[in-house]
Amino acid sequence: MNTRKNITFSGISISEGLAVGRAFVFQDIFERDLEAYTIEMEQVDGEYARLERAIEEVLADLSLSADRVEEDLESAIGNIFRAHGEMLRDVAFINEIRTEIERELVNSERALRCVFGRWERKFRSMDSDVFKLRGDDVADLARRLLRSLAGLHSHSLERMPSGSILVAQKLLPSDTTFFSQRSVAGIVVEHGGPGSHCALLTRQLGIPGVTQVPDLLDSIKTGDLLLLDGLRGAVTVAPDRAGQARFSARMKQYYAGSMDAKKHSHESAVTRDGVTIPVMANIGNRHDAETAVENGADGVGLFRIEVFFLSRKILPTEEELVTGISKAIIPMKGKPVTIRLLDIGGDKPLPYLPLPPEPDPFLGRRGVRFLLDYPELLDVQLRALLRISREHDIQIIVPMVTIVDDMKKVRAALDRVGLELGYNTLPPLGAMIETPAAALCADEIAAVSDTLNIGSNDLTQYTMAAGRENAFVYKYFMDDHPSVFKLLQHIGREAKQTPVGICGELAGQSNQVQALLRAGMRMLSVPPPLIPSVKEAVRQARAM
Ligand code: PEP
Ligand code: MG
């Protein structure tokens, strides 16, 4: 490898911020030379026993990881580890490795690489993005088993010095658990789109991050000094003194600005012409809610509740939903909380609802379309949310509305469930505007909705015809493109008296706040670490 000096690599930002630190290059165990050898027939039982021990160890480790992550983050990642445990208990998988050992007379490492490699390729070649992601799960499990067989009892990220900039080709779910425990100054990954797991987590935790930096690993070694620019999406390797000094000055200014913003983050955000704009948080769990409160959130503008439904064997009960959601929003204490009905579809199957695969899942049965086809799934949520509304100031929002009928049907279901439970007052019901069709007919939809909440991530993907998760077309995925803004302005005008807010990632970009307010947005909901800077941007802007 040839470490280059003072070279700047361009990528794309996945999480705002600036960082200076020494690189910690994460070397994947898969890429190392592992002991792989052939064996004699009489050694087969010995290999089975080694494999058995490794499986037991990994199962114990997975359960520990799940507990640890749930304690720290209470996040969906905990469920991923539980699902990995289930996969490893699958006898068919294990038998395939045993057969490979016996038939090919090879040690466990070699058999395991071969079988897991086959499964990984199989998943990755599938059309569905979800099945492609299962390839990551398989790879992650294989790594854990290989580590255990090699007698490596700690994850190499545990040895990462605090304050490092983590550099990796790709990060898998098991790697990301270490972000919450150790202080990582920044993250650079060669591959992965802005919608990837790792990108969402870095933003949610407020760690600066850059991705799409091809060939970076060829030019970096552990210990190299890096300047990570999560504002412009760039990484400088081994900077010269002048470059370091300029970067330090920018960092000082940026973080002084952030500190200033934080000082006032618990005050309301009022524009220069006197309009108060609630700046709310996007959350998915209790930890997010706590960070939101620390950062001065005026409430929750989007609670994504998918975590309560995915990676389970059976549908959650009404009781489980009431307990889970109520527990997560305790830190909000009386502040308004907007809860979105389950947003899943053909690309995110529920294990207890086997569905036929769809040829084009993102244009398929997503969000409200799915709920209207499975009324029992809708009813259990409405019942739970009505019960929660007795204790909390909540609003319900409906994902993926395309036509006015979508809202009318959910409204009818809410009225019916309210009647069944004997409720006289029902929480407000809002529509998420995430498709160009809904945006263009915002007047009709506003007439039957209490609020309009713009999901700019999906609105961008459908307007620009560029998949959110598709790293090949990320250049088309421009949420600040004039076509997206024209739709926002149209919604702002046509909504008339119905309040309009925005909860996609666009709302968190401080330099867009002025344009968003001018387009008529009167509530901004953003990842918790961005609340102070967005409030500050509101104070500098005019609403009219
Ligand atoms: C959006 O689409 O902008 C949104 C807020 O919802 P999600 O990102 O969960 O699809
Ligand atoms: Mg959406």
pLDDT higher for 71 or 396? 396
434 lines ligand 1 (CB under 6 A): yes
503 Cα nearest atom in ligand 1: 5
Tell me, using a 6 A CB cutoff, whether residue 457 lines ligand 1: yes
Instruction: Give 94-137 pLDDT, tens digit per residue.
Output: 889 999 999 999 989 889 888 888 888 888 888 776 677 777 77
Predicted confidence at residue 56, as pLDDT, reads: 87
Under DSSP, the state recorded for 520 is T
pLDDT band (50, 70, 90) for residue 474: confident
Atom number, ligand 1, closest to the C-alpha of residue 434: 2
Look up the CATH architecture of domain 270-539.
Alpha-Beta Barrel (3.20)
Confidence class for position 481, pLDDT limits 50, 70, 90: very high
- Write down the domain spans for the chain: 7-28+156-243, 35-149, 270-539
Q: Note the pLDDT of residue 70.
A: 64
Is the confidence at residue 236, as pLDDT, over 90?
Answer: yes
pLDDT at residue 282, as a whole number: 95
Q: Average pLDDT of the chain?
A: 87
Ligand lying closest to the C-alpha of residue 460:
1
108-124 and 44-72 are packed helices; what angle lies between their axes, rounded to 10 degrees? 50
Domains 7-28+156-243 and 270-539 fall in the same CATH topology: no
**Right CATH for 35-149 from 2.40.50.100, 1.10.274.10, 1.20.1260.10, 3.40.50.720:** 1.10.274.10
Ligand 2 ion: Cβ-proximal residues, 5 Å cutoff:
434, 455, 458
Using 50, 70 and 90 to split pLDDT, how confident is the model at 383?
A: very high
Identify the residue whose C-alpha is closest to ligand 1 atom 9. Answer: 304
| Residue nearest to ligand 1 atom 4, measured at CA | 455
Give mean pLDDT, residues 367-372: 95
Q: Among 30-34, 43-47, 291-295, 351-355, name the one with the lowest average pLDDT.
A: 30-34
Structure confidence at residue 118 (pLDDT): 87
Catalytic residues: 197, 503
pLDDT confidence tier of residue 349, bands split at 50, 70 and 90: low
289 pLDDT tier (thresholds 50, 70, 90): very high
What is the spatial distance between Cα 506 and Cα 524, in angstroms, rounded to a whole number?
9
Whole-number Å distance between alpha carbons of 202 and 527: 10
Better-predicted residue by pLDDT, 30 or 428: 428
Separation of 457 CA from ligand 1 center, angstroms?
5
* CA 434 – ligand 1 centroid, Å: 8
- State whether the beta carbon of 504 lies less than 6 angstroms from ligand 1: yes
Burial 522-542 (b: 16+ CB within 10 A, else e): bbbbbbbbbbbbbbbbbbebe
Beta-strand relationship, 500-502 and 18-25: unpaired
Position in ligand 1 atom list of the atom nearest CA 505? 3
Give pLDDT tens digits for 494-511.
999 999 999 998 999 899
Q: What is the torsional sign of CA 13, 18, 23, 29?
A: negative
Closest alpha carbon to 234 in 512, 14, 511, 478? 14
Q: Is 406 in the pocket of ligand 1 (CB under 6 A)?
A: no
- Whole-number Cα distances in Å, 284 to 213, 301, 303, 307, 483: 29, 11, 6, 7, 29
Mutation to probe ligand 1, out of 304, 512, 516 (largest number of atoms < 8 A from CB): 304
Q: What's the pTM? A: 0.72
- Inform me whether the pLDDT recorded for 210 exceeds 60: yes
More confident residue, 319 or 468: 319
212 lines ligand 1 (CB under 6 A): no
Antiparallel, parallel or unpaired: β 12-15 and 209-211: antiparallel
pLDDT score for 522: 98
pLDDT at 89: 83
Mutate which of 397, 457, 479, 488 for ligand 1 pocket (most atoms within 8 A of beta carbon): 457
Sign of the CA dihedral with 324 first, then 374, 459, and 198 last: positive
Assigned CATH class of 7-28+156-243: alpha beta
Tokens encoding 433:
């505007």
Query: Is 302 near ligand 1, meaning CB less than 6 Å away?
Result: yes
| Ligand 1 in reach of 487 Cβ (< 6 A) | no
Distance in Å, CA 461 to ligand 2 centroid: 10
